[in-house]
């Protein structure tokens, strides 16, 4: 007769904490779901890191021009190239998140679960509500099939109370965007903005839209995540009570056959929960991303 139980890493059939089949299956399901949700958090973290890289690159270029003022055609092309690389990385990370979220939630919750359906709706809502979301999706398609997205780069400077302000503004040509088979309504929206449109406001709006989706995912999955965390913590506590050790010790949930041979096993450890919470805490301030900007301005009274 098959056996199910909790074991130390040295599996001994006569020294198991007995589990029912349903308990064992619940532990395996909780472990797999938590690993999947960690992957979702990692993809979102990758997205935000690439967004920070894009913004940081604009600041670096602006600082360089503020100090050296060495504009020439070759240098401008180099700046365009590195901004394009940062933008490409950001859009790839965003697409990775968007394309895989449905499968991730299917794996963790099931295709008909409320969380899966809710996030599908949120993605569609953000797409419809945000021009930046729609434009950046079109830009990604343009980069794949037609041309690079940065068609002009300007370095505006103006006087501020504290001195001269230097900026870097990458722009796209609306006529080239039209060639990317844009939807008619999007073409009309862009036409009203002139010949060239700045890229960065669209980027910020896009990232804020995806951040809104991710916040919704965390809220919708909170109770289920707590249940999975509790399942893992219970295995850990029972293992420590039997075999001793610290709270970070790992144990096994095992399935043994009639001959006491291991058919399947899964490692269980509290760091699954802890690492996911670290990522959540790191990327927790998500609202109003599109309305945040960094400045080197420093007032005398600051």
Q: What is the pLDDT of residues 110-161, one digit of tens each?
A: 877 899 999 999 999 999 999 999 999 988 888 877 778 899 999 999 888 7
Q: Say what the pLDDT of residue 12 is.
A: 86
The pairing of beta strand 3-7 with beta strand 157-160: unpaired
3-state secondary structure of 182: coil
Burial 245-276 (b: 16+ CB within 10 A, else e): eeeebbbbbbbbeeeeeeeebbebbbebbeeb
From CA 125, how far away is CA 265, in angstroms rounded?
41
* 144 belongs to a structural domain: yes
- Two tokens, residue 230: 């509790």
Q: Say what the pLDDT of residue 184 is.
A: 64
* 296 belongs to a structural domain: no
Provide the residue range defining the domain that includes 239.
3-291
* 119 belongs to a structural domain: yes
Q: Say what the pLDDT of residue 290 is.
A: 87
- Asked whether residue 219 carries a pLDDT value surpassing 90, the answer given is yes
* 298 belongs to a structural domain: no
pTM of the model: 0.92
Tell me the pLDDT tens digit for each residue of 159-187: 887 788 899 999 998 887 777 666 667 77
Provide the Cα torsion 196, 201, 205, 207; round to 10°. 110
Q: Say what the pLDDT of residue 181 is.
A: 60
Domain count, the chain: 1
The answer to whether the CB of 168 falls within 8 A of the CB of 155 is yes
- Mean pLDDT of all residues in 4-29: 94
3-state secondary structure of 266: strand
End-to-end CA distance of the chain: 74
* 297 belongs to a structural domain: no
From CA 262, how far away is CA 266, in angstroms rounded?
11
* 262 belongs to a structural domain: yes
Greatest mean pLDDT among 105-119, 237-251, 271-285:
271-285
* 301 belongs to a structural domain: no
């Amino acid at each position: 007769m098959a056996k199910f139980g909790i074991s130390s890493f040295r599996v001994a059939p006569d020294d198991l904490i007995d589990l029912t089949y349903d308990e064992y299956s619940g532990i395996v399901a909780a472990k797999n779901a938590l690993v999947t949700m960690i992957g979702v958090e990692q993809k979102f973290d990758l997205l935000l890191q690439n967004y920070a890289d894009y913004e940081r690159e604009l600041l670096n270029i602006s600082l360089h021009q503020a100090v050296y003022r060495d504009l020439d055609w070759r240098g401008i092309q180099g700046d365009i190239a590195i901004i394009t690389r940062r933008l490409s990385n950001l859009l790839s990370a965003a697409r990775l998140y968007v394309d895989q979220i449905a499968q991730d939630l299917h794996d963790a919750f099931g295709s008909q679960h409320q969380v899966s359906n809710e996030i599908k709706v949120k993605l569609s809502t953000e797409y419809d509500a945000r021009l930046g979301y729609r434009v950046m999706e079109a830009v990604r398609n343009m980069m794949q099939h037609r041309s690079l997205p940065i068609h002009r780069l300007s370095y505006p400077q103006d006087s501020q109370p504290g001195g001269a302000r230097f900026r870097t503004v990458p722009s796209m040509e609306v006529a080239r965007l039209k060639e990317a088979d844009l939807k008619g309504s999007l073409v009309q929206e862009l036409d009203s903005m002139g010949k060239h449109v700045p890229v960065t406001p669209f980027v910020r709006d896009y990232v804020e839209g995806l951040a809104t989706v991710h916040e919704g995912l965390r809220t919708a999955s909170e109770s289920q995540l707590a249940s999975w965390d509790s399942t893992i913590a219970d295995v850990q506590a029972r293992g420590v009570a039997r075999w001793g050790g610290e709270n970070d010790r790992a144990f096994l949930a095992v399935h043994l056959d009639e001959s006491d041979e291991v058919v399947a096993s899964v490692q269980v450890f509290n760091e699954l929960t802890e690492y996911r919470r670290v990522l959540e805490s790191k990327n927790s301030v998500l609202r109003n991303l599109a309305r945040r900007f960094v400045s080197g301005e420093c007032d005398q009274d600051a």
